[in-house]
Amino acid sequence: MKKIVLFVLSLGVFATLGIGVFFLSEKNVAQAENIPHPLETINQKAIDARTGNQADAEELVGEIIRVAGFENVLIGFTSSSIKQPVGRAESRYRLGQSSGISERKIVRTINGLVKQFDLPAYAKTDLYEVRKL
């Protein structure tokens, strides 16, 4: 008789805990649904930058750096040596004042960084991979 009572009490405790966890997880999911996905903010800033406005392009660059998690690593460099030149290049491209970056330059740059930082060979890229991505 004691085993049955103990079993029923244990079952009741587990059921209560299960229901509590379920309601807490539903609350967390509801809260998480109100937070925009980081890529949504990048996409919105990219849409804004389509006009060719340099300030919008710089905001896009800053948001990409922030979402990628490089903001702390690039302290001191982000505003002057990354945001402005890349934002200016993006703005000039959008306004038709300059051509875009060629795929070959992207391949050379990435492979140069691989060599400079002595990364493994699988970090290298090629023209086909850049076109695919």
Report pLDDT for 25: 61
Report pLDDT for 22: 60
Separation of alpha carbons 29 and 59, rounded Å: 30
Listed as ranges, residues in the chain with pLDDT below 50 are: 30
Report pLDDT for 77: 63
Q: How many CA atoms lie within 13 A of 96 on its CB side?
A: 0
Let me know: does 28 contact 57? Beta carbons within 8 Å: no
Report pLDDT for 30: 46
Separation of alpha carbons 64 and 4, rounded Å: 60
Let me know: does 62 contact 78? Beta carbons within 8 Å: yes
Report pLDDT for 20: 58
Instruction: Return the structure tokens found at 119.
Output: 């990364």
Report pLDDT for 28: 53
Q: Residue holding tokens 């998480």?
A: 32
Separation of alpha carbons 31 and 39, rounded Å: 18
Cα 18 from chain centre: 34
